[in-house]
């Protein structure tokens, strides 16, 4: 799956030219079983590099953690140093080998509801450069089931202006472009989670309303039946009283 995305990203970077950001997202549809409302604490796992020797910011995870905290998407985000310590303990160098059991183990160790896995491909100089390309993927995986519930891919290419062509100004650095991409993914994630949580809460409210209505209907039916039985009993008693002696 990662190989497919790496090829797709490379193709898009080749054909995109000097274009703006392109984002593709996936969000697991809301079901009767709430998922999004239960994800309150998460951990950001170390990012993978999709290209050998690709230039990229070493603080990408910190940028994502800061963005998530600023957006208030989750109640808490695990500190990267604890995540790094657990990855070392589990002897995990990247997230390529993650399976459901490892995701569950990470969730238990860090006491989180979901993990965020990311990958970067960056071409350009750490400082200002005339051509910078950036792509990133971000996945949200629940720790109890190991299901992918949200995913996004961002593709960016620095816009070369006339001033940049003549060397009067410089294109953004990979760090600046990465920061822009991460902010965009955080905004997409925040919007998706807000919308899905609202739908789940409405679904829960509607279900509670339906259950309350059913309970009230059952009470009314029971009361009506009891009232009818009481009337029948009173009628029989009156008939016995007025019945002529044999």
| Residues 84, 146, 73, 2, CA torsion sign | positive
pLDDT tens-digit map of 130-153: 566 678 889 999 999 999 999 998
Give the structural domain span for 95.
2-196
* CATH at residue 161: 3.40.50.10610
Asked whether the beta carbons of 80 and 88 are under 8 A apart, the reply is no
- SS3 assignment, position 167: coil
Residue 123 is predicted with a pLDDT of 64
* Distance separating alpha carbons of residues 145 and 126, to the nearest angstrom: 39
Structural domain tally of the chain?
Answer: 1
Closest Cα to residue 179, out of 77, 78, 58, 64? 64
Residue 109 lies in a domain: yes
Q: What is the mean pLDDT of the chain?
A: 76
């Amino acid at each position: 799956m990662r190989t497919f995305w790496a090829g797709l990203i490379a193709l898009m970077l080749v054909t995109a030219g000097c274009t703006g950001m392109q984002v593709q997202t996936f969000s697991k549809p809301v079901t009767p079983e709430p998922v999004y409302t239960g994800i309150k604490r998460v951990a950001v796992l170390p990012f993978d590099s999709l290209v050998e020797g690709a230039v990229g910011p070493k603080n990408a995870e910190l940028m994502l953690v800061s963005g998530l905290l600023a957006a208030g998407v989750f109640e808490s985000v695990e500190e990267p140093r604890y995540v790094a310590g657990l990855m070392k303990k589990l002897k995990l160098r990247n997230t390529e080998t993650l399976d459901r059991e490892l995701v569950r183990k990470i969730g238990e160790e860090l006491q989180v509801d979901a993990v965020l896995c990311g990958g970067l491909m960056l071409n350009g100089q750490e400082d200002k450069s005339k051509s910078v390309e950036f792509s990133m993927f971000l996945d949200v995986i629940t720790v109890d089931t190991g299901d992918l519930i949200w995913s996004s891919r961002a593709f960016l290419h620095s816009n070369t202006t006339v001033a940049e062509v003549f060397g009067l100004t410089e294109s953004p650095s990979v760090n600046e472009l990465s920061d822009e991409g991460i902010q965009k993914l955080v905004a997409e994630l925040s919007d998706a989670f807000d919308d899905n949580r609202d739908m789940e809460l409405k679904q829960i409210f509607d279900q509670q309303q339906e259950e309350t209505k059913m309970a009230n209907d059952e009470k009314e039916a029971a009361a009506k039946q009891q009232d009818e039985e009481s009337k029948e009993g009173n009628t029989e008693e009156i008939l016995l009283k007025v019945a002529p002696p044999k």
